[in-house]
Amino acid sequence: MSVLTERLSVQKKMGRKGLIIYLTAGYPDMDTTLAAVLAAAEAGADIIEIGIPFSDPIADGPVIQKAATLALNRGATTAQALDLIRRIRAKTAVPLAAMTYTNTILHYGPEAFMNDFGAAGINGVIVPDLPLEETDLLADVCRKASIDLIQFIAPTSTAERIAAISKQASGFLYCISTTGVTGVQALDYKPIAVAIEAARKTTNVPVAIGFGIGSPAAARQAAKYADAVIVGSAVVDRLGSQGVNGVRDLVGAMREELDREGC
Amino acid sequence: MADKRGRFGGYGGQFVPETVMPALTELEDFYNEVKSDPEFQAEYASYLAEYAGRPTLLYYAKNLTEHYGRGRIYLKREDLLHTGAHKINNALGQALLARRMGKRRIVAETGAGQHGVACATVAALFGLECRVFMGKEDMERQALNVFRMRLLGTEVVPVTSGSGTLKDATSEALRYWVTNVRDTHYIIGSVVGPHPYPMIVRDFQAVIGQEVRKQIRTLQGAKLRYIVACVGGGSNAMGIFHPFKDDHEVKKIGVEAAGKGVDTGEHAASLSNGRPGVLHGAFSYLLQNNDGQVIEAYSISAGLDYPGVGPEHAAFKDSGVAEYVTVTDGEALAAFKRLAQIEGIIPALESSHAVAYLEKLMPLTTKDEAVVICLSGRGDKDVQAVAKVMEGL
């Protein structure tokens, strides 16, 4: 079983919701990202997404855009992100997913990317501009490297698409909470809840809700509809304003809220 | 022709978030329906004729021809269209599509402002709500077009993310579309973006080349040998090239912006100097650094400074259907001035790049050969910027 699936399944068996935390590699610098990842893992994150900065992140809102721009301006590269992942893996067994855009992987070479990042300790890749129609580009190389290629469903996904996407799902199914980009906002989870229900008919992989979840209360609310929640912008924002301890506190508070009875 | 998955010889595709995939599929299905619907085509043709001012003239530039003393030079006068550039061809077609799809809002990106003005214009005409994303720097360079859009009732949104130019405006427009996809149609301004956009924009712009095909009967004995057009994203070039795609007697030459020179790194020559990669939903030639980060393009012409290019141009380049060359800021400025003074026509800085290539092309031509230049837009919007850099004008 995939490392990502296993982690979320173990939690599920214990009646707990999974918590997936996103951080941008190189924001505000690689050493701080490393410290923040370790803090998030200790505070109860089940999976950490490492964002490899790309110049044109079309699926990201202002917070993560800014983090990527700042990291790039400070000289962050894909090679440095790879090194960061090695350093993380040397210190923790927390499941890891790399989140980046198609061009970053294409430029590196899909096979080389999966081999190198797989060897460094990545368990999955999340590519928000690679819809089902284009997954051929990475599906084989991911399979060979035993890396989960995370699939997305959105509130706009049709029944046919949900069935086709779910069939390809591995690791976990990334369910986009809202039409829009990443970033904290008030949400109506009903449309994605309907989509999740449909997806569960086709796939047994755990489902995770992401986009827009900004607080422990919001995490708890979103978790009602899924096996796990994904939190990105709020954590990156907290890292910028309060540093590594701020991340530890936020992740810890989310963990606590998710573990509270009735979730 | 794009295949089922929107590929042109391996280029193109749909590299976008899942959220907009259903909208792209809907758009493609809808477009395929109206494409063969005589009623839609008649409506589009009537707006082109009665509102935009088609067909445009194929003007014999006698003075310019005499200036070079070689082949005959013809200008396809897209600059005479309503709003001053070829962009209205696509804006009208897509606004009619949006209306048929029942979408009340349109969103667009703009660089030089010509596409933004075209969208603002059709939005006013059809009573659609319109929002245009424009780089902050471009808003300063093209203040007149910003005013025109606002006058037409469009909301112009400054983009400061990334480098604050066309590339970032396009990303912002895509993000806005992802967020408001249910009631909003995104009118991409060039033959770029995810499938089906490169195909749709090409089809709406192909009217340029289709007219040239009919008009070449008037070449007075000369034989059409060359078609020259500027290429940023590449919509006017694709529009005039495509109907001649299989016509090997006619050489298609796309002129990219070399900016301060392709060796300086400050240019917008994606086909000539880029490598294939993915930007804004399509796989095509792209200016990128050694880490796969997209490099900011530079050109004196705001409409050409885009680091990507339409995927069908990438396929044309690889297969040799068209040839792509470059022209610097300085050469374009000289052509801007030359056409104004010799023919009394002020071309857009974008189109000036095509005009500038005559310097290299004309000595190779003979008197019985004809060259058609796509004069994609007029230069009124550029005079202030040009006055700043050009002494003695």
B15 touching A, CB under 8 A?
yes
User: In this complex, do B171 and A180 lie within 8 Å of one another by their Cβ atoms?
Assistant: no
Each residue's pLDDT tens digit, B90-146: 999 999 999 999 999 999 999 889 999 999 999 999 999 999 999 998 898 788 899
- The secondary structure of residue B49, as a DSSP letter, is I
Each residue's pLDDT tens digit, B176-226: 998 898 899 999 999 999 999 999 999 999 999 999 999 998 778 899 999
How many Cβ atoms are within 10 Å of A132's Cβ, its own excluded?
18
Nearest CA-CA partner of B134 in B161, B175, B166, B105: B166
For B17, the closest chain A residue by CA position comes to: A129
- The secondary structure of residue B293, as a DSSP letter, is P
B109 in active site: yes
Q: Which residue is it, tokens 């992987």?
A: A105
Question: What are the residues of chain A with a beta carbon less than 8 Å away from any beta carbon of chain B?
Answer: 54-59, 61-62, 65-66, 69, 72, 77-79, 101-104, 106-108, 128-134, 152-158, 161, 165, 176, 179-181
Q: In the structure, what pLDDT confidence band is assigned to residue A159 with cuts at 50, 70 and 90? A: very high
Cα A158 to Cα A127, A136, A162, A181, A189, distances in angstroms: 20, 21, 6, 19, 16
User: In this complex, do A56 and B171 lie within 8 Å of one another by their Cβ atoms?
Assistant: yes
Each residue's pLDDT tens digit, A119-147: 999 999 999 999 999 999 999 999 999 99
- Residue B369 structure tokens: 């050969």
Nearest to A179 among B19, B161, B171 (CB): B19
- Residue B4 structure tokens: 């089922």
Euclidean distance between CA atoms A208 and A216, whole angstroms: 16
How many Cβ atoms are within 10 Å of B344's Cβ, its own excluded?
8
Q: Find the catalytic residue in B87, B167, B245, B381.
A: B87
- pLDDT tops 90 at residue B161: no
User: In this complex, do B161 and A181 lie within 8 Å of one another by their Cβ atoms?
Assistant: no
Each residue's pLDDT tens digit, B218-233: 778 899 999 999 999 9
How many Cβ atoms are within 10 Å of A190's Cβ, its own excluded?
10
Nearest CA-CA partner of B294 in B280, B311, B314: B280
Strand residues in chain B grouped as ranges (E): 7-8, 11-12, 58-60, 72-77, 105-110, 129-135, 155-159, 184-186, 223-230, 251-259, 275-279, 282-286, 322-328, 369-375
What pLDDT was estimated at residue B4?
Answer: 67
User: In this complex, do B162 and A153 lie within 8 Å of one another by their Cβ atoms?
Assistant: no
- pLDDT tops 90 at residue A263: no
What is the average pLDDT value for chain A, to the nearest integer?
Answer: 96
Q: In the structure, what pLDDT confidence band is assigned to residue B389 with cuts at 50, 70 and 90? A: confident
B50 touching A, CB under 8 A?
no
User: In this complex, do A103 and B286 lie within 8 Å of one another by their Cβ atoms?
Assistant: yes
User: In this complex, do B294 and A55 lie within 8 Å of one another by their Cβ atoms?
Assistant: yes
Chosen for mutation from B18, B157, B163 (greatest number of chain A CBs closer than 10 Å) is B18
* Chain B contact set for A165 (CB, 8 A): 18
Buried b (16+ CB within 10 A) or exposed e, B170-200: bbbbbbbbbbbbeebbbbbbbbbbbbbbbbb
Q: In the structure, what pLDDT confidence band is assigned to residue B392 with cuts at 50, 70 and 90? A: low
Residue B320 burial (10 A CB sphere; 0-12, 13-18, 19+)? exposed
What pLDDT was estimated at residue B230?
Answer: 98
Question: How much is the average pLDDT of B266-295?
Answer: 97
Each residue's pLDDT tens digit, B18-39: 999 999 999 999 999 999 999 9
Chosen for mutation from B7, B14, B15 (greatest number of chain A CBs closer than 10 Å) is B15
User: In this complex, do B181 and A156 lie within 8 Å of one another by their Cβ atoms?
Assistant: yes
CA distance B29 to chain A (A): 14
Buried b (16+ CB within 10 A) or exposed e, B265-278: ebbbbbbbbbebbb
Question: How much is the average pLDDT of A177-190?
Answer: 85
Interface of B with A in 220-279 (CB under 8 A): 277-279
- pLDDT tops 80 at residue A261: no
For A109, the closest chain B residue by CA position comes to: B292
Cα B274 to Cα A75, A106, A122, B136, distances in angstroms: 21, 14, 31, 25
What pLDDT was estimated at residue B2?
Answer: 62
B301 in active site: no
* Chain A contact set for B278 (CB, 8 A): 101-103, 106, 129
Residue B391 burial (10 A CB sphere; 0-12, 13-18, 19+)? exposed
Question: How much is the average pLDDT of B309-333?
Answer: 98
CA distance A7 to chain B (A): 25
Chosen for mutation from A70, A74, A102 (greatest number of chain B CBs closer than 10 Å) is A102
Q: Which residue is it, tokens 């022709």?
A: B1
How many Cβ atoms are within 10 Å of A65's Cβ, its own excluded?
25
For B286, the closest chain A residue by CA position comes to: A103
User: In this complex, do B14 and A134 lie within 8 Å of one another by their Cβ atoms?
Assistant: yes
Give every CB contact of residue A151 below 8 A, 6+ residues apart in sequence.
A132, A135, A165, A166, A168, A169, A170, A173, A174
Cα B310 to Cα A86, B234, B248, B392, distances in angstroms: 38, 6, 21, 37
Query: Domains of chain A, with CATH numbers?
Result: 3-258 (3.20.20.70)
For A104, the closest chain B residue by CA position comes to: B292
Cα B145 to Cα B13, B154, B190, B382, B388, distances in angstroms: 32, 11, 18, 10, 18
CA distance B305 to chain A (A): 16
Nearest to A56 among B167, B179, B291 (CB): B167
Q: What are phi and psi of B283, to 5 degrees?
A: -95, 120
Q: How many CA atoms lie within 13 A of B79 on its CB side?
A: 21
User: What are B106's strand-pairing partners?
Assistant: B130, B185
Cβ(B48)–Cβ(B89) below 8 Å: yes
Count of pairs with CB atoms under 8 A, one residue in A, one in B: 117
